[in-house]
Amino acid sequence: MLLFGLVQIAVGIFMWLRPERMYAPFNIPATAAATNFASYILGITGALFIASGLLVIFGAVRPARNLNAVRFAILWSLLSLSSQIYAIVKHYVTLGEVVLSLAVFLFFLVVFILFYPWPWRRDSHRGLPED
């Protein structure tokens, strides 16, 4: 989860500080309005990525105590993966443009589900250990 959170923060900072580098590969028309609006949306999205990355990192410290952060990481991965598949199906992007992002989110989704602190793994019948 720590690595996933750090990746999200890095992408968020990049979106926030260098939005033109994010939308240029997608051939958004070079009109001032489209460029400015895309930068605005990417700045807001970057802030959300930073906030979600921090939440995931905080949850990574004690996953058994921070199950909602773990669930959020799973949901974030699943929804990101789903939205990219939807964009491919609707021909907004091509598979070649988003294959790396798809692979990253699929990898983290599988890892999060495999290592999820299921009740039978965390000795829930004994309660959580004291701090």
Q: Name the average pLDDT for the chain.
A: 84
| Sequence-ordered list of residues with C-beta below 8 angstroms from that of 87, at least 6 positions apart, any chain | 93, 98
Closest CA to 66 of 74, 76, 75, 56: 56
Query: Does a structural domain hold residue 123?
Result: no
Range with the lowest mean pLDDT among 6-10, 38-42, 124-128?
A: 124-128
pTM recorded for the entire structure? 0.75
Is the pLDDT score of 14 beyond 70?
yes
Residue 82 lies in a domain: yes
Domain count of the chain? 1
Domain that holds residue 106: 2-118
In a domain, 6, yes or no: yes
- Residue 127 falls within a domain, yes or no? no
Residue 88 lies in a domain: yes
Query: Does any domain span residue 10?
Result: yes
Average pLDDT value for residue range 102-108: 94
Distance (Å, whole) CA 75 – CA 94: 24
Would you state the pLDDT for residue 130? 56
